[in-house]
Structure 1
Amino acid sequence: MSTAPPGGSLRAAAGLRYGALGLPLAFVALPLYVVLPSHYAQIYGVPLASLGALLLGVRALDAIADPLIGRGVDRAMAGPRVPLMQAAWVAALLLALAFAALFFPTFFLPALQGNTALLAWCGVGLVVAYLAFSALSVLHQAWGARLGGDEPARARIVAWREGLALLGVIIASVLPGTAGLPTTCVVLAVALALGLWGLGTGPAPAATSAGRTASVDERGLIATLWQPLRLPAFRRLLLVFLLNGVASAVPATLVLFFIRDQLQAPAWEPAFLGAYFAAAALSLPVWVKAVARFGLARCWLAGMALAMATFLWAAGLGAGDTTAFVLVCIGSGLALGADLTAPPALLAGLLRREAPDGSQDGAFFGWWQMATKLNLALAAGLALPLLQWLGYVPGQTSNDGHAALSVVYAVVPCGLKAGAAGALWWLWLSKESS
Structure 2
Amino acid sequence: MQPVAFQDRLAGLGLAIYAAPAFSLAALSVPLYLYLPTIYADDFGLGLAEVGAVLLIARLADALTDPVAGLLADRWPRRKPWLLLSLGPMAMAIWALFAPSGPVSAASLLGWSLLLYLGWTGFSVPYLAWGADLNQAYHGRTRVAGAREAAVLAGTLVAAATPALLGLSGPAALRFLGIVILVGLIPTVLLACARLPEPRPVAPPPLAPKQAWALLRNNAPFRRLLGAYGLNGIANGLPATLFLSFISDRIGAPTLAGPALALYFCAGLAGVPSWLWLSRRLGKHRAWRLGLLGACCAFLPAPFLGAGDTAGFLLLCLATGLMVGADLVLPPAMQADVIEADSHAGGGARAGLYFALWGMATKASLALAVGLAFPLLDWAGYVPGTPNAPETRALALLYGAAPLLFKLAAWGLMRGYALDEAALAALRPPPGDLTCPAAGFSPPPPPSSLAPSLCSQDAAR
Conservation of the 8 A alpha-carbon contact between 1:67 and 1:225: no
Query: Could you say which residue in structure 2 is the equivalent of 1:151?
Result: 138
Residue 181 of structure 1 deviates from its aligned partner by 2.9
In structure 2, do the counterparts of structure 1 residues 201 and 226 end up closer, same or farther at CA, with 3 Å as the change threshold? farther
In structure 2, do the counterparts of structure 1 residues 223 and 102 end up closer, same or farther at CA, with 3 Å as the change threshold? farther
**3-state DSSP of counterpart to 2:200:** coil
Cα deviation digits, residues 169-217 of structure 1 (max 9, x gap): 112113445353333222211211232123213442433544xx2434x
2:310 alignment partner, one of 319, 322, 339? 322
Query: Could you say which residue in structure 2 is the equivalent of 1:312?
Result: 300
Instruction: Letter of the 1:256 partner, please give it.
Output: L
Cα deviation digits, residues 90-141 of structure 1 (max 9, x gap): 3112112101212333x1xx3x46xxxx111111111110111111111111
Query: Could you say which residue in structure 1 is the equivalent of 2:403?
Result: 413
Query: Could you say which residue in structure 2 is the equivalent of 1:69?
Result: 69
Residue 425 of structure 1 deviates from its aligned partner by 1.1
Q: Is the radius of gyration larger for structure 1 or structure 2?
A: 2
**What are the residue-to-residue correspondences of 1:48-59 with 2, within 5 Å?**
48-59=48-59
Query: Could you say which residue in structure 2 is the equivalent of 1:200?
Result: 193
In structure 2, do the counterparts of structure 1 residues 226 and 354 end up closer, same or farther at CA, with 3 Å as the change threshold? closer
Aligned residues: 414
Conservation of the 8 A alpha-carbon contact between 2:35 and 2:174: no
Moved over 4 A (4+): 222-227, 427-434
Distance, in Å, in 1 between the alignment partners of 2:84 and 2:33 is: 23
In structure 2, do the counterparts of structure 1 residues 207 and 170 end up closer, same or farther at CA, with 3 Å as the change threshold? same
Structure 1: which 5+ runs fail to align?
79-83
Distance, in Å, in 1 between the alignment partners of 2:26 and 2:304 is: 32
TM-score, with normalisation over the residues of structure 1? 0.89
2:327 alignment partner, one of 339, 346, 353? 339
In structure 2, do the counterparts of structure 1 residues 352 and 176 end up closer, same or farther at CA, with 3 Å as the change threshold? same
Cα deviation digits, residues 335-386 of structure 1 (max 9, x gap): 1100011100001011122215862100110010011111110000011111
Q: Does 1:264 align with 2:259?
A: no
Distance, in Å, in 1 between the alignment partners of 2:143 and 2:274 is: 11
Deviation larger for 237-246 or 347-356: 347-356
In structure 2, do the counterparts of structure 1 residues 161 and 375 end up closer, same or farther at CA, with 3 Å as the change threshold? same
Q: Does 1:133 align with 2:120?
A: yes
Query: Could you say which residue in structure 2 is the equivalent of 1:215?
Result: 206
TM-score, with normalisation over the residues of structure 2? 0.84
Distance, in Å, in 2 between the alignment partners of 1:61 and 1:101 is: 19
Query: Could you say which residue in structure 1 is the equivalent of 2:350?
Result: 360
Ranked by relative contact order (alpha carbons within 8 Å, sequence separation 6 or more), the top structure is: 1
1:377 alignment partner, one of 367, 386, 389? 367
Query: Could you say which residue in structure 1 is the equivalent of 2:432?
Result: none
Query: Could you say which residue in structure 1 is the equivalent of 2:20?
Result: 20
Structure 2: which 5+ runs fail to align?
424-438, 441-461
Instruction: Letter of the 2:136 partner, please give it.
Output: G
Instruction: Letter of the 2:286 partner, please give it.
Output: R
Conservation of the 8 A alpha-carbon contact between 2:226 and 2:358: yes
Conservation of the 8 A alpha-carbon contact between 1:21 and 1:140: no
Q: What percentage of residue pairs aligned between the two structures are identical?
A: 34
Q: Does 1:404 align with 2:394?
A: yes
**What are the residue-to-residue correspondences of 1:91-240 with 2, within 5 Å?**
91-105=86-100, 107=101, 110=102, 112=103, 118-177=105-164, 178=166, 180-210=173-203, 213-216=204-207, 219=208, 228-229=216-217, 231-240=219-228
**3-state DSSP of counterpart to 1:355:** helix
Query: Could you say which residue in structure 2 is the equivalent of 1:81?
Result: none
In structure 2, do the counterparts of structure 1 residues 358 and 147 end up closer, same or farther at CA, with 3 Å as the change threshold? farther
Distance, in Å, in 1 between the alignment partners of 2:21 and 2:307 is: 40
**3-state DSSP of counterpart to 1:215:** coil
In structure 2, do the counterparts of structure 1 residues 9 and 371 end up closer, same or farther at CA, with 3 Å as the change threshold? farther
Instruction: Letter of the 1:190 partner, please give it.
Output: V
